[in-house]
A and B are shown apart, each in its own frame.
Chain A
Amino acid sequence: MTEGSRPAIVARGVRRAFGQVLAVDHVDMEVRTGSVTALVGPNGSGKTTLLLMLAGLLRPDAGTVEVAGADPASSAVARSAIGWMPDTFGTWDSLTVTEVLTTMAAAYRLPTDLGRARTTELLRLVHLEEFAATPAHALSRGQKQRLGLARALINYPPVLLLDEPASGLDPRSRVDLRVLLRRLAAGGVTVLVSSHVLAELDEMVDDAVFLSRGRTVSSEALLATTTQRRRWRLRSLDAEALQHWAFDHSVTLYPDNDAPVGGTSVLVELADDAAAARLLASAVAAGVPVASLAPVSGLLEQAYMSLDAERR
């Protein structure tokens, strides 16, 4: 959490190709210690490859990677500082949930009693206590995902690399995940999380790293997207009053094509939150029965869409 301290993850000019396919072209990034940072990008933009390099499984063709102050490729210090949860992973299906975690603890060379204590603690944390003696193959997809998260946390990692951790989770578990990650960050853990559920990331991340075609998108470009005018959805109980007010105040209303049929919502374009507050005050003052005014999409989604536009 300390400002100005060394970043927990640093990548400089990282590049990695698989044969003819250039998965990661040029990645420069810094992830602040104690932050939750989103890794966002379209399918095939190199997120998983980048995470593999950060986890020390893949050697970059060029550039350098540093996690927790060391090269994850060569250093046991860095390796024991990383918790990694891959996007697709299997489970040792004959092992019970408890055995999976104690095995991982042993693989990280934790003393047996500490490993057992940590296992109990983590099972409680991801709400799998009642499945402690269940074979891993009997778990549902979401439960396996939670087990995967517990597995990534077994070695008390100060740096957590999560590749699509929310996939397969029910809404309740997603909220739990968000709370857990925020709490870990508050305790000084650095979390780098890739996900496609942008609305969810929006609520928990401090920073975002955008990947497009294997390159990090520059922060200036990002800044530009976030200061763009965003669309807000305005819902009122009286469509006619809204129309009159809009005409009087020269507010351009756009049809809301995504709204359910029969709704009385329209879209407006606003520069920032202050503009939204002014618009709302004006509408209410004019007697328009406003039910809600909210951004159509989150900041991340907005930025993501501009990446996507670039892709086409």
Chain B
Amino acid sequence: MTTDTQQAPATPSERTFTWQGVRTVLTLELRQRVRSTRWKVALVVWFAIVGFVAALLPGLVGSSSSGGGTWVFGLILLFVLGLGLVVSPTLASTAINGDRVAGTLAILQVTRLGPAEIAVGKLLAGWLAALAFLVISLPFLGWAALTARVAPWHFLFVVLVLALLLGVVCAIGLGCSALTARPAGSSVLTYVAVASLTVISLIVFLVSIPAVTTEERVEVLTVPLDANAECEWVQTTRSVIHTERTWWLLAINPFVVLADAAPARGPESWDYGPLDAIKEGVRLARTGDQPRYDECWSENYPAGVTPQREDESSDTSPVWPWGLGANLALGGGALWLAIRRLRVPYTTLAPGTRVA
């Protein structure tokens, strides 16, 4: 009781975003998380599930020599993403409102920490936790990549895209937790957001097909009645599905982003896996139905002489930059929302919330 309790504090600077501040929040969050046994159990369960699936898959899709490796790699990759999309929302979706309910948020807000430091610190903590799940899946992913003969840099790239997608989900969770008063509400909201990106967007895409289908005059290269004559262009009316108007519904899907970012298929015809199927599908959807159809299926027509018109070749440029960009923008928006909502002093309070 003899120590002097008052010393002059260092002159404060007005800087509101420092790495030191982010690290303070990050360390705090990780300490809070890592020490709970629940977390260790979750990691063990995850390892067991991914291992179990990885062990069963080869038996399901056949051995690696007949192209099964490509299938195993693709399926495990998609499975890890799917599991990640299920787990990641829980890692960040209560970060802000949960702290507010527990009475530990305002205590940080009155300090010198800025809202961006708190939000980014919490996001990084959630993301690192999600990455821990990714890291313990790496042995299985790596093994599958080896059997599928995926080049190391390609493998690293796909894992990086996967990591970014999980980060986006964490950011969405953080934004939701800033938006709603109750932790249960933000968890549900985050799952709804993830479902919107993955399942609901796909359903909307399928349901919207009639809406983008129009009856149009098209040219068809068809087999003439006279079997010996050349195929010829005829005008006719057909249903044309304009998926080039709705392809973005597929492009924002994390599964599509991951599949499209996966390495190009090998030269062998059996080097064809689920990732290639998704990739082809989405690129085809982006091109949409052509106004011209080649239906010259005559057997005796000399191969390679089909009067193809060059301007109709489908667009095969990658889709993933768009999808990943959209996802990152979404995550960035959610982070921005969280920062805004953490700013003090509060002018308005959401109904049902207390400051402290």
Identity of the chain A residue whose Cβ is nearest the Cβ of B104 in the assembled complex = A90
Q: Cα distance A58–B351 when bound, in Å?
A: 15
Interface residue? A235 (CB, 8 A): no
Identity of the chain B residue whose Cβ is nearest the Cβ of A78 in the assembled complex = B12
Contacting pair A92 B28 (CB below 8 A):
yes
Contacting pair B32 A57 (CB below 8 A):
no
Contacting pair B345 A109 (CB below 8 A):
no
Contacting pair A107 B4 (CB below 8 A):
no
Interface residue? A84 (CB, 8 A): yes
A52-B355, A86-B107 known; A107+B5 contact, CB < 8 A: no
Contacting pair A124 B112 (CB below 8 A):
no
Chain B positions 309-356 with a Cβ under 8 Å from a chain A Cβ: 344-347, 349, 351, 355-356
In this complex, the interface size class of chain A, counting residues with CB under 8 Å from chain B, is: 35 or more
Chain A positions 178-226 with a Cβ under 8 Å from a chain B Cβ: 183-184, 187-189
Q: Which residues of A contact B103 (CB under 8 A)?
A: 86, 88-90
A92-B104, A153-B5 known; A55+B12 contact, CB < 8 A: no
Q: Cα distance A151–B356 when bound, in Å?
A: 15
Partner among B4, B20, B36, B356 whose Cβ is within 8 Å of the Cβ of A86:
B356
Interface residue? B207 (CB, 8 A): no
Partner among B102, B110, B345 whose Cβ is within 8 Å of the Cβ of A59:
B345
Interface residue? A296 (CB, 8 A): no
Q: Cα distance A77–B355 when bound, in Å?
A: 22
Contacting pair B31 A99 (CB below 8 A):
yes
In this complex, the interface size class of chain B, counting residues with CB under 8 Å from chain A, is: 35 or more
Interface residue? A91 (CB, 8 A): yes
Interface residue? A27 (CB, 8 A): no
Interface residue? B277 (CB, 8 A): no
Contacting pair B110 A156 (CB below 8 A):
no
Q: Which residues of B contact A91 (CB under 8 A)?
A: 104
Shortest Cβ gap from A19 to chain B (Å): 8
Interface residue? B296 (CB, 8 A): no
Interface residue? A132 (CB, 8 A): no
Q: Cα distance A74–B32 when bound, in Å?
A: 30
Q: Cα distance A99–B31 when bound, in Å?
A: 9
Q: Cα distance A95–B27 when bound, in Å?
A: 11
Contacting pair B21 A109 (CB below 8 A):
yes
Interface residue? B14 (CB, 8 A): yes
Q: Cα distance A53–B356 when bound, in Å?
A: 12
Q: Which residues of A contact B347 (CB under 8 A)?
A: 59
Partner among A59, A94, A95, A107 whose Cβ is within 8 Å of the Cβ of B111:
A107
Q: Cα distance A187–B113 when bound, in Å?
A: 27
Contacting pair B32 A89 (CB below 8 A):
no
Partner among A19, A57, A80, A87 whose Cβ is within 8 Å of the Cβ of B344:
A57
Q: Cα distance A231–B103 when bound, in Å?
A: 42
Contacting pair B28 A121 (CB below 8 A):
no
Interface residue? A104 (CB, 8 A): yes
Q: Which residues of B contact A76 (CB under 8 A)?
A: 12-14, 16, 112
Identity of the chain A residue whose Cβ is nearest the Cβ of B109 in the assembled complex = A57
Q: Cα distance A107–B161 when bound, in Å?
A: 33
Contacting pair B28 A95 (CB below 8 A):
yes
Q: Which residues of A contact B102 (CB under 8 A)?
A: 90
Q: Which residues of A contact B110 (CB under 8 A)?
A: 55-57, 79, 82, 84
Q: Cα distance A90–B105 when bound, in Å?
A: 9
Interface residue? B65 (CB, 8 A): no
Contacting pair A156 B345 (CB below 8 A):
no
Q: Which residues of A contact B13 (CB under 8 A)?
A: 76
Q: Cα distance A257–B12 when bound, in Å?
A: 58
Q: Which residues of B contact A104 (CB under 8 A)?
A: 107, 111
Contacting pair B3 A124 (CB below 8 A):
yes
Chain B positions 1-60 with a Cβ under 8 Å from a chain A Cβ: 1, 3-10, 12-14, 16, 18, 20-21, 24, 27-28, 31-33, 35-36
Shortest Cβ gap from A93 to chain B (Å): 8
Chain A positions 130-158 with a Cβ under 8 Å from a chain B Cβ: 151, 153, 155-156, 158
Interface residue? A108 (CB, 8 A): yes
Q: Which residues of B contact A81 (CB under 8 A)?
A: 9
Interface residue? B108 (CB, 8 A): yes
Q: Which residues of A contact B356 (CB under 8 A)?
A: 52, 57, 86-89
Contacting pair B345 A183 (CB below 8 A):
no
Q: Cα distance A87–B6 when bound, in Å?
A: 24
Q: Cα distance A58–B5 when bound, in Å?
A: 28
Q: Which residues of A contact B4 (CB under 8 A)?
A: 187
Q: Which residues of A contact B7 (CB under 8 A)?
A: 156
Contacting pair B112 A125 (CB below 8 A):
no
Chain A positions 90-130 with a Cβ under 8 Å from a chain B Cβ: 90-95, 99, 103-104, 106-111, 121, 124-125
Shortest Cβ gap from A192 to chain B (Å): 15
A57-B346, A77-B12 known; A151+B6 contact, CB < 8 A: no
Partner among A52, A79, A94, A103 whose Cβ is within 8 Å of the Cβ of B27:
A103
Contacting pair A125 B3 (CB below 8 A):
yes
Interface residue? A286 (CB, 8 A): no
Interface residue? A73 (CB, 8 A): yes
Contacting pair B21 A156 (CB below 8 A):
no
Q: Cα distance A79–B16 when bound, in Å?
A: 12
Q: Cα distance A110–B24 when bound, in Å?
A: 11
Contacting pair B35 A94 (CB below 8 A):
yes
Contacting pair A183 B5 (CB below 8 A):
yes
Q: Which residues of A contact B28 (CB under 8 A)?
A: 92, 95, 103
Contacting pair B346 A94 (CB below 8 A):
no
Indicate the member of B3, B20, B356 with the most A CB atoms within 10 Å: B356
Chain B positions 88-137 with a Cβ under 8 Å from a chain A Cβ: 102-104, 106-113
Q: When A and B form their complex, which 5 residue pairs have the shortest distance between CB atoms, in order from nearest?
A: A90-B103, A107-B111, A59-B345, A90-B102, A94-B35
27 A-B contact pairs sorted by A residue (CB < 8 Å): A18-B349, A56-B345, A57-B106, A57-B344, A58-B344, A76-B16, A79-B12, A80-B112, A86-B103, A86-B107, A86-B356, A89-B104, A89-B106, A92-B31, A103-B24, A107-B108, A107-B111, A107-B112, A108-B9, A109-B21, A110-B10, A111-B10, A124-B3, A151-B107, A153-B5, A155-B9, A187-B5
